[in-house]
Chains A and B, each alone.
Chain A
Amino acid sequence: MTRKIFQRNIQFWGEEKQQILADSTILIAGVGGLGCTVAEILTRSGIGKLILIDNDEIEISNLNRQILYDQSDIGKPKVEIAELKLQAINLELEIEILNHDVSELKNLHLPYFDGIADCLDNFEARFELEKLLPPEHFLVHGGVQNDFGQITTIKPGKTQTLKEIFPGLHIPVPVSIVPQTVLAIGSLMVQEIINNLFGKPKLLNKMLILELADFSMFKVELKK
């Protein structure tokens, strides 16, 4: 059954790469707009395991962009509903949920993961998250606002940290955001996560900036 789900993926990238995905684990920090998009696309790509971290409950104002949730989910924990929806797509997907705030993670024993998807909604939490990144592992950062957003890959010792790139940045929450920005940036994040898993990241020491209004996309060099 599972093989049939991924038939078209295999047709494109082959058995070997599909197996790399099946053997991989991604930790998704934040299961809001970006987190839902990244989790769903990774599931449909054939990722073997997801670790979902979020301690929020679903609110009505989330439904414009958080694609795993609907009206019947209001008031329920995001990680529990996300797990149900993702499991329904692929019964063989392994999912571990952590109903915690990112600030609590340093006190927990985290399960093994190959990389982190930074889908958080504020920079203070992102600076805490990147401290959890072991050497040789990767973090794909995504940020969205209005009709623009950015993505980069962070690797300890090989790139600047998020705190170096965005020092002292504080953007008041909640930010204004439309669904097409979230889905576009979330999709591009998955592409870079898969690039990393296949050993060929394209946004190492580069930041991709997308502006939907005029369809412009830039890659900016970041100095290590």
Chain B
Amino acid sequence: MGINEIEVEAASVSIYELILKAEKLISKKFLDQLIDEKRQILQGTLILINGRNIVHLDKINSIVQDGDEICIFPPGGGG
């Protein structure tokens, strides 16, 4: 995405809503690179909330609190 770190003001919003806020903040759309039209996380995408994969939480509807650290990156699969 070419963005290393941004701070987004939000509390008790879903990760989905947080990403929409982040898109506005950086004037760049990237949600469609992370989820499909059914809001399923695309293969090859890793989203962590405080070091925990959102697959173990409520997926794209996982709630983010003030101070949470979100990490989004495509893990390298090759060796």
Contacts and interface: CB of A to CB of B under 8 A. Distances in A.
A115 interface: no
Interface stretch (B11-19, B25-33, B47-55): B47-55
A116 to B, nearest CB: 13
Given A121-B77, A122-B77, A142-B79, A223 B51 contact: yes
A169 B44 contact: yes
B75 A166 contact: yes
A171 to B, nearest CB: 3
Contact of A223 (B4, B52, B78): B52
B51 A148 contact: no
A164 B56 contact: yes
Given A166-B53, A220-B48, 15 more contacts: A32-B79, A33-B79, A119-B79, A143-B78, A143-B79, A145-B75, A166-B46, A168-B55, A175-B77, A181-B76, A214-B4, A218-B4, A221-B50, A222-B51, A223-B51
What bracket does the count of chain A residues touching chain B fall in?
A: 35 or more
A187 interface: no
Nearest to A171: B77
Contacts of A177: 78
Given A121-B79, A221-B51, A145 B74 contact: yes
Contacts of B51: 205, 220-223
A166 B44 CA distance: 9
A48 B38 CA distance: 52
B69 interface: yes
Given A145-B74, A164-B53, A169 B46 contact: yes
A142 B75 CA distance: 10
A170 interface: yes
Interface in A181-224: 181, 185, 205, 209, 214, 216, 218, 220-223
Interface string A155-183: 00000000011111111011101000100
Given A205-B51, A222-B51, A30 B79 contact: yes
Nearest to A117: B79
A209 B76 CA distance: 10
A39 interface: no
Contact of A170 (B43, B50, B55, B78): B43
